[in-house]
Amino acid sequence: MTLSRDKLPRAGGLIVLLALAIAFPWLFSNPAVTNYGVFAMIFVTVASAWNLFSGYSGYISLGHAVFYGSGAYVMGVAAKAWHLEGTAVFELLPLCALAGAVIAVPFGLVALRVRRHTFIVVTIAVFFIFQLMAFNFSFTGGSSGLSSPFLSWTQASFNLSFYDIALACAVGTIVISWLIRRSTFGLRLRAIRDDEDRARGLGVKTMRVKLSAFVISGALTSLIGAVWFYYETQVQPQTGFDPLFDLTVVLMAFLGGYGSVAGPVLGALLIEPGTLWLNSQPQLSGIAEIVLGAVFLAVVLFVPRGIIPAGGEWITKLRTRGKPAVVPAVAMTKESVPAGTPGGEK
């Protein structure tokens, strides 16, 4: 594939961004700052994973915490059961992703039968079932949760290594999201978002398409949930299955631009550091929620389609100033008017 003149600056921009992302922890080596970096990458992954299902298909899931928390718990339980420690624990990551995929199948088979409001509510219900299980099973450690196995990294290398792992997950998820978006599979997902019944009437296997996206999304979310657990060193029912989790992720996607590849990434980069900072200020407890809610209201009311689509449109407007954006398609039919066809009046 050759890069056209249009694509070259874009590819260059992406390489610069990636280089910046890799260099970030060396530029700001303060562990408090690299901590922000790790969380930002975790949420870039989550928001992109959420978006490649919900953003493309239009089925808003408020139950992705199910995958996130399950990933964390699977890693915790498995490491304990098999007495794994140190870097060996990372070998569990594929298992955690698989767990997410396995959970997504029955979850999706039930939830994806219904649409819109009902779908959203079913995802919330499943979320509560999982939280309840985490609270009440014995192998999940009840309300005190699980602690991660010991990892003998120094304070400095701890954050740096986790940053690299989370960055790798983020880049991988973005690439998957981009590949899906430009594939036939992605086209079908977006057709479902526009008019599911018509897409089905045209032979799109809607259930299979939706479920596949849900499974991919769930697996990626479980994977990063496990990474988060090992980084955070512990998980409790209310942190692994946090009711605010999905709302935050949805906010990220909407702020940046729901349904686009870059939107959720931008949204996560803007929002996650903000929430982290708010939550780190003890005198502001309670305010974090109010701010989150207020930002959300502002986004939905003022930039409902997100920064990236709105910005893109603004740029197009600037470029095409003075020229009509759409050339009417009617004029060209002159030569093809057949003799004897009556005109339109009734």
Partner 1 sequence: MTALLRTDGIRKAYGGVQALDGATLEVAEGKITGLIGPNGSGKTTLFNVITGYEKADAGDIVFRGKTITNQRPDKVFSAGIGRTFQLSRIFPRLSVEENMLVAAQHKRGKHRARARELLEFVGLERHAELPAGSLSYGQRKLLELAYVLIADPAVILLDEPAGGVNPTLINHIADRIRQLNASGTTFLIVEHNMEFVMGLCDSVTVLASGTVAASGPPDAIRTDPRVLDAYLGSDVEDEPASPEEAADAER
Partner 2 sequence: MASQIYQAVVDGILVGGVYALMAVGLTLIFGVLDIINIAQGVLVILGAYLSYSLSTRAHIDLFTGLLITIPVMFIIGVVIHWAFIRRLRGSERTSMTLLVTYAAALIIEGVLYMLYGADNVQLKASYTTSSVHLLGFYLPWIYVYGFILAVVLVLAVYLLLYRSRFGRTIRATMQDETAARLVGIDVNRVSALTFGIGVAVTAVGGMMYGATNAFNANSGYDLISRLLAIIILGGLGSIGGALAASVFMITLESVVTIWEPTWAIAVFYAALVLVLVIRPQGFFGRKEVRAQ
Q: What's the CA gap between 93 and 99, in Å, rounded?
A: 10
The item of partner 2, partner 1, none sharing an interface with residue 304, based on CB under 5 to 8 Å by kind, is: partner 2
Q: What are the residues binding partner 1 (CB under 8 A)?
A: 184, 187-188, 190-191, 193-195, 197-204, 259, 326-330, 332-334, 336-338, 340-346
The item of partner 2, partner 1, none sharing an interface with residue 137, based on CB under 5 to 8 Å by kind, is: none
Q: What are the residues binding partner 2 (CB under 8 A)?
A: 58, 60, 110, 113-118, 120-122, 124-126, 128-129, 132-133, 136, 195-197, 243-244, 247, 250-251, 254, 258, 285-290, 292-294, 296-297, 300-301, 304
Of 27 and 329, which has the nearer Cβ to partner 1? 329
Q: Are 48 and 174 in contact (CB under 8 A)?
A: yes
- Residue-wise DSSP of 26-92: HH---HHHHHHHHHHHHHHHHHHHHIIIIIHH----S-THHHHHHHHHHHHHHHHHTT--GGGGGGG
Report how far Cα 288 is from the mean position of its chain's Cα atoms: 22
DSSP for residue 257: -
Q: Which amino acid, 283? A: Q
Of 79 and 308, which has the nearer Cβ to partner 1? 308
Q: For the CB of residue 300, give the shortest distance to partner 2 in the complex, in Å.
A: 5
Q: For the CB of residue 168, give the shortest distance to partner 2 in the complex, in Å.
A: 31
The item of partner 1, partner 2, none sharing an interface with residue 333, based on CB under 5 to 8 Å by kind, is: partner 1
Of 105 and 294, which has the nearer Cβ to partner 2? 294
Of 1 and 326, which has the nearer Cβ to partner 1? 326
The item of partner 1, partner 2, none sharing an interface with residue 199, based on CB under 5 to 8 Å by kind, is: partner 1
- Nearest by Cα to 242 from 301, 303, 288, 307: 288
Of 22 and 290, which has the nearer Cβ to partner 2? 290
Q: Are 128 and 134 in contact (CB under 8 A)?
A: no
Q: Are 268 and 250 in contact (CB under 8 A)?
A: no
Of 31 and 309, which has the nearer Cβ to partner 1? 309
Q: Are 163 and 20 in contact (CB under 8 A)?
A: no
Q: What's the CA gap between 315 and 307, in Å, rounded?
A: 12
Of 22 and 132, which has the nearer Cβ to partner 2? 132
Q: For the CB of residue 191, give the shortest distance to partner 1 in the complex, in Å.
A: 5
Q: For the CB of residue 204, give the shortest distance to partner 1 in the complex, in Å.
A: 7
Helix H or strand E segment including 159: helix 155-181
Q: What's the CA gap between 120 and 317, in Å, rounded?
A: 36
The item of partner 2, partner 1, none sharing an interface with residue 289, based on CB under 5 to 8 Å by kind, is: partner 2
